[in-house]
Structures are given as C-alpha cells and as structure tokens.
Amino acid sequence: MCGRFAFTIPAEVLAETFGVSVPPVLEHRYNIAPTQQVFIVRDDADGRNLSNARWGLIPHWAKDISIGSKMINARAETVHEKPAFRQAIKARRCIVPAGGFFEWLARPNGKIPYYITMKDGSPLPMAGIWESWRSPEGAIVESCSILTTTANELMTPIHHRMPVILRSEEFDFWLDRTVTDPIKLKRLFPPYPAVLMASWPVSRLVNSPAHDSSDCIKPEPS
C-alpha cells in the first residue's frame, strides 16, 4: 500500500516532467498523510492541468466525507470491479506526483520507516484516480486514490505492495479520457523496475503527520 508520501519536486521540474503550468514556488512537503490536500495531474476539457484533491477517494454516492479515509489506495488488480472505483478508473484517471513514499518494515523492536524514491532523483509519478463529491450542503470536494500493485525486488523485504509508478512515455495513455476500457490499462500495472529505485531507513518522526520537515526523509542507521 501507500499510506504516506513526500512532495519535493521543484516547480520547474514539475512543469517540464508533466507538461503543466505551475505556481512559481511550490512548498515542499515531507510527510503527506491521508485526508490532506495533494497535487494531481489530469487532462481536462481545456488540456492538462495541475489540480488539488483530497487524498482518500470519496465516491459520488457516499453519504459523508469520512469514507475517504478508507479509500487512499486502490488495488490495480481489482480497481475495475470495486463500486467505489470502477467509474473513476474508466473516466477520471490522474497522476499523483511525488518525491518518494514511505513504508514500514516490521522488526522485533518495532516498525522501521523506509523512504522509497527514484535512484536518479527524478519525480516519482504514481497512477491515481479521482472523483467529485457533493456534500449535503452543496460543497464540491474532489478527491483521489493511489493505485497499488505487487512489490518489486527492492520493496519485497519491506512490504508486499507498492504504488503503480508510471514511465513518462505512459503518461499520455494513462490520462487519455477516450480510453475507457480498464483492461487496456493493465499493461501499465507491473511493478516499476527495482534497479531504478532506492530506499533507506528514516527517522520515526515520520510516524506522526505532525512532523513535516526534511528530517523525515534523511537516512538513518538501520
């Protein structure tokens, strides 16, 4: 799964990588937690845009917003079957840009958090889906979920799942709103090559969303 991630992408790199207009200054975030606002890249009627969404997808039929906290991830193998996700995977796909994500390794003395990122320092583009929900009071809330797949060789010792990470040449196909058959998307779901990624243990500060500083991603002795 993916339950916490960091956004450490400079504005100019975000714009160049995803082909979107961005604010001149983007605040780095080192410990993004479910229900918080995140950036998503999506294709709208006016082209590709950088938008904001609440992390934790709220189905359009939900009675209240709280269900979103249970919908932060969608399994790639079954996303097209689940009532909460099956419409979004057909028509509302997005990319959730990240610097890296966190996962916890169980050890006898407690869980150790690891930070997983790209070996070359490039952005880590996670496949996502989004939804629009109207509250009983009429407020519109846009939310998203991150797709997960089986772990690669780097992740296997830490956790059995990882985000679906897209290659740059796959962006157009993933975001193409004319592609509505989820089966055609399955070729994008294999785990990202482990040789292109890196991981290291980090401080337990990341266990609390209250901590949001670069200390959360600094290497710690294992």
Residues annotated as part of the active site: 2, 103
* Residues 124/165, Cβ–Cβ less than 8 Å: yes
Distance separating alpha carbons of residues 123 and 160, to the nearest angstrom: 22
Distance separating alpha carbons of residues 185 and 170, to the nearest angstrom: 10
How crowded is residue 75: how many other Cβ atoms within 10 Å of its Cβ? 17
Distance separating alpha carbons of residues 95 and 222, to the nearest angstrom: 32
* Residues 186/149, Cβ–Cβ less than 8 Å: no
Distance separating alpha carbons of residues 35 and 64, to the nearest angstrom: 13
